[in-house]
Chains A and B, each alone.
Chain A
């Protein structure tokens, strides 16, 4: 336990020092709160508005989670198919890699046209954003098994299916979880930013956009803080699952 404390101590110090510096700068230079509210102002505001923000946060988080589940599971399944069928992989993998360069959020306004202003359009964008990284990473994991480990399977006359379940799949898990972890933050970003293009008032993206445009900066900051907290929670939850599944691999 003490080693845990020691591990996080520097980070905690930086966090507190950062807040203090922020607070100090705001007061030293007399910055107006509508430009940059001091941290304590945000905290006070959060105490007032958290019932609203929590509802909005859950709404947005639901989109992120649903899109994430769809996109990641789709990516994993597609990667398995690609690994089982080289012909399929030859067609799909180049596009998947190229798609990493496409700003998928730019499709958000179109998604609203197609799927409506409610959650479906955001889920679609998040699913699309998380699909490709998961797909590419899983393919790499499934295909990066070493030649000797394949020789070993061959020497035992293992079937293709056995090579897949006993070697490729377990070998790919660290790669899969790396993608699953980075996709958590991607999912939150995708959901919030998609909401900037339209959505119900009780969503984080709309709340941030409307309060910011009215110079209600402390409200906007409070909402951003909630988005951060939810993103962190999501990330931590997946990390814990990763540790459970992968156990004590190096």
Chain B
């Protein structure tokens, strides 16, 4: 068993709301082993992005504890253990693709040679070497998100946090980027935490899929994905792929049905 790089213990999160509080997460416990690719899937508003943001120290939990590499998330963030990819590319539109990828290198004061060489290498990794001098608005949505991935990898983070990065893309682009992402992941030693609401995407990418319930978000089930690697377009046609998609779907729906019963009773 590989060591746990992310350890979430009994985390809950409540937000202030007009009428009292909204309970976003309840009693979340989760460990992620180093090198894993873990997807978090659940219905809209189940708090899956909130969980990701707590782990990345973008917000704090109401109760519970998170350890990342044995450290509190804040320390991990200060140590630049994270690379984050958001729902939108969040590229700065006064910077070219290469300059956007260079941003983290500038922020951490990396040597000049590295600042010059590394962006092109990273853009090559995501297949955008020909677009390094393009500005964000000159790139398609999929290309922008690839630039964001390259930027997230700039500091060789131990953990890649991805918050529905392909949610806004069409399905064909998404499928292609899924394959590319696996390729990138295999070339880096990063642990990936990936939030999505696409079942097929979660199954295709992950080593494990964490299924969450509707609000307040709890972990309904963790599904191990034992599809062979390397995965590619052919993976999507394997019977095992469909079985796993059905399992994840049932876990999602099972809990919804259960909840409907509660409401009905």
The interface of chain A, by Cβ under 8 A from chain B, is 146, 148-149, 151-158, 162, 166-167, 170-171, 173, 246-250
A157 touches B94 (CB 8 A): no
Q: How far is the CA of A164 from the CA of B92 in the complex (A)?
A: 14
List chain A residues, Cβ under 8 A from B94.
170-171, 173, 246-247, 249
Q: How far is the CA of A247 from the CA of B104 in the complex (A)?
A: 23
B92 touches A151 (CB 8 A): no
List chain A residues, Cβ under 8 A from B84.
151-152, 155
If A156-B104, A156-B108, A166-B107 touch, whether A148 touches B90 (CB-CB below 8 Å) is: yes
Q: How far is the CA of A250 from the CA of B108 in the complex (A)?
A: 29
Is B56 interfacial (CB 8 A cutoff)?
Answer: yes
List chain B residues, Cβ under 8 A from A152.
84, 86, 90
The SS class assigned to the A binding surface is helix
Is B93 interfacial (CB 8 A cutoff)?
Answer: yes
Is B198 interfacial (CB 8 A cutoff)?
Answer: no
Is B78 interfacial (CB 8 A cutoff)?
Answer: yes
Q: How many A-B residue pairs have CB under 8 A?
A: 55
Q: How far is the CA of A155 from the CA of B55 in the complex (A)?
A: 11
The smallest beta-carbon distance between B63 and chain A, in angstroms, is: 22
Q: How far is the CA of A97 from the CA of B88 in the complex (A)?
A: 33
Q: How far is the CA of A146 from the CA of B80 in the complex (A)?
A: 22
Nearest CB to that of B79 among chain A residues?
Answer: A157
If A156-B80, A250-B137 touch, whether A149 touches B58 (CB-CB below 8 Å) is: no
Nearest CB to that of A247 among chain B residues?
Answer: B94
What does the 1/0 interface line of B208-221 toward A look like (CB < 8 Å)? Answer: 00000000000000
B92 touches A162 (CB 8 A): no
A166 touches B135 (CB 8 A): no
